[in-house]
Amino acid sequence: MSDLRRAVLTYYAYRCISAIGFIAPFLNVFLVSRGVTFTDLALGGSAMAAVTVLGEVPSGYVGDRLGRRRSLLLSQTLFAVSISSWAFARSTTAVVSIFVVSGVASAFQSGSTEAWLYDVLDEADEAERYTEIESRGSALRLWVTATTMVAGGLLYVVGPMIPFACAAALSWSGVGIVASLPANARYRGRDGRADDDDAPLDPRRALAVVRRFLARPGLRVVVGVVAVYTGASVAAGDYLQPVVVAVLPRTTATVAGVALPEFVVLGCLYATFTALSAVVVDRADALRNALGATNALLALVGLGGVAMAVPLVATRALGGSAVVAATLTAVVGFRTCQDVLHPIHSAYLNDRAESVGRATTLSAVAFAYALVRVPFLLVGGRVADATEPVVALALVGVVAVAVAVAVGIAVLSRRSESEASATGTADD
């Protein structure tokens, strides 16, 4: 087996163990039953968001300075600690602490994961396979998530602590998997310097790398569009469950005559959504090759935004089973667009980033995305409280579509001007 094939297979294993479906369908229900309040969860979520935002760029720099594998090893260890701790959380302090640990872990993972994979492929002159491999990794993660969601819900019925033990075991196994990832070539020496550059990556140099990267006008446009859609998608996630539950008929699913708890039914439903997304995500590379990266990203943003508005239109204009069908189709649609967008956008950024400071650059972009989410979350939350979640979902979708259309028109106009200029020059 070649070194590249072994590295890719290890990467796939790493993506699979990052799924936390075992406890996803019922985590909040479990915590509340143990005395944790929704205020505790809100405080914890806010603390995690703050830590992730503030730690994005510094953690990316650490990944570039000390090595991406070391950054990922620290991240996976922290994730394993936080996942193992949820079963014992009973107080505000415990909940906030676990969220903070998860935030630090997320910050060290962001940027370093994509930077490690791209450089491994680039070292083997296989960088053009990045979208294919990244989309396959995303699809595998979604399949594992879907499977463990169903298994976790059923295991919870047998014993509430069993899925937590399974999630912890899966996460801790990831520490060993990450440790077996090969180091990027520039970090195989003891001093961590690149073979072709004796100068270490100091903060000033890292800042210059990021500045050069973001100075490209065309790239800034794409980053801005994806940032808007990412913010809309994150906000939409808060309304997903109430929108789906509101349209589902009030029936109780049974297995062998035994009624299943609602969270088990929801777990199976979410697993179905995730599995459908996995099927499409695995074809992300084909979409990129067919349309081109920029066109594919604009199309995904436009389709995803339209899908977010469908549930509102359906509830106002349709009735009965048609509302259910339209809403579930729309949910699958915008979740799939979000999942497919990631590998294509990641490849787009990596193709234009320098190897030196790659993790810092990607983390800087992630930092910008995190900032854009804030107004979507605040405004969307206000709208959801004042009206209903389906209205807030449509609002964030309309904003995403408007941005995609505006940028698409600008891109087409620029291309037309360039072609006209080229034609005029040829005529002269």
Output 82-87 pairs: Cβ under 8 A, ≥24 positions apart: 83/20, 83/23, 83/167, 83/168, 83/171, 84/164, 84/168, 84/171, 84/172, 86/23, 86/27, 86/30, 86/31, 86/164, 87/161, 87/164, 87/165, 87/168
In order of start, what are the domains of the chain with their CATH numbers?
3-181+202-427 (1.20.1250.20)
Average pLDDT rounded to a whole number, residues 176-181: 89
Predicted confidence (pLDDT) at residue 271 exceeds the cutoff of 60: yes
Burial 227-255 (b: 16+ CB within 10 A, else e): bbbbbbbbbbebbbeebbeebeeeeeeee
Specify the pLDDT at position 265.
64
Percent of the chain topping pLDDT 90: 3
From 91-95, 135-139, 170-174, 184-188, the region with the lowest mean pLDDT:
184-188
Q: Average per-residue pLDDT in the chain? A: 76
pLDDT of residue 383: 78
297-323, pLDDT tens digit by residue? 888 888 888 888 888 888 887 766 777
330-355 mean pLDDT:
82
Split at pLDDT 50, 70, 90, the class of 89 is confident
- Helix (H) / strand (E) element for 334: namely helix 321-352
Q: What is the dihedral angle through the alpha carbons of 131, 135, 138, 144, rounded to the nearest 10 degrees? A: -150
Above 50 in pLDDT, residue 409?
A: yes
pLDDT tier for residue 61 given thresholds of 50, 70 and 90 = low
What is the pLDDT, as a whole number, of residue 195?
44
- Averaged over 348-358, what is the pLDDT? 75
Residue 37 pLDDT greater than 80, yes or no: no
Task: For residue range 365-382, list pLDDT tens digits in order.
Answer: 777 777 777 777 777 777
Per-residue pLDDT tens over the stretch 229-268: 888 887 777 677 667 767 766 555 555 555 555 556 666 7
Band of residue 78 on the pLDDT scale cut at 50, 70, 90: very high
In DSSP terms, which residues pair with 194 in a beta bridge?
197
**How much is the pLDDT for 198?**
46
Which residue bears the tokens 């509340």?
Answer: 32
Q: Which of 315, 335, 327 is nearest to 138 (CA)?
A: 335
Residue 340 clears pLDDT 50, i.e. is over it:
yes
Chain centroid to CA 365: 13
Quick check: 397 and 309 in contact, CB under 8 A?
yes
* Euclidean distance between CA atoms 322 and 328, whole angstroms: 10
Which pLDDT score is estimated for 77? 93
Give the C-alpha distances (Å, rounded to integers) separating 339 from 72, 234, 301, 325, 411.
22, 12, 11, 21, 24
Looking at per-residue pLDDT, the higher value among 195 and 54 belongs to 54
- What tokens were used for 291? 């349309």
pLDDT tens per residue across span 130-163: 888 888 888 888 888 878 877 887 787 788 888 8
Q: What is the mean pLDDT of residues 404-416?
A: 66
Assess contact for 180 and 10: CB atoms under 8 A: yes
